[in-house]
Structure 1
Amino acid sequence: MTNSAPPDSTRLDELEIRIAHQDQTIEDLNAAITAQWKLIERLERQVERLGERVADSENAAGQADPVNRPPPHY
């Protein structure tokens, strides 16, 4: 009978190579997620600022002289 299984040292080398590639993939994914979270946080701050600007504009429009305001159907 012929033993078709590779020797233990070859199997160990292959496993170490796979682990090294998986470690690199995990680091790459972590970097991508970190960059995405930074972008999300920046966009959340920007949306909050824009919401405040809209609210301020609505308040300012509500305080305008009714004579200068356009009719509601505009």
Structure 2
Amino acid sequence: MTDETDEANRRLVALEIRLSHHEIMAEELSEVVAQQARSIDVLVAEVRRLKERLGEAEAGLPGSPQDDRPPPHY
């Protein structure tokens, strides 16, 4: 019975160690995901600003006569 108890205790300790490693890994992954989300938010805001600036720049340019002609396949 002692051998079975010792084996059960060893297995339990091994499982607790594995669980501990998984918890640490989950916390690290969570932080990575949070950092990526913040980076994505910054990039999305930058793309919006660039689109607005491009739209403003295009609005200030005079239209080309070629822009008014229909494409050649018409």
TM-score by length of 2: 0.75
Whole-Å separation in 1 of the counterparts to 2:64 and 2:58: 14
Residue in structure 2 matched with residue 65 of structure 1 by the alignment: none
TM-score by length of 1: 0.75
Counterparts in 2 of 1:1-74, with a 5 A limit?
Answer: 7-62=7-62
Greater share of helix residues, 1 or 2? 2
Whole-Å separation in 1 of the counterparts to 2:35 and 2:51: 24
**Alignment length, in residue pairs?**
63
The offset of 1:32, in angstroms, is 0.3
Superposed CA RMSD in Å reads 2.1
The unaligned stretches of length 5 or more in structure 1 are: 63-68
Q: Letter of the aligned partner of 1:28 in structure 2?
A: E
The unaligned stretches of length 5 or more in structure 2 are: 67-74
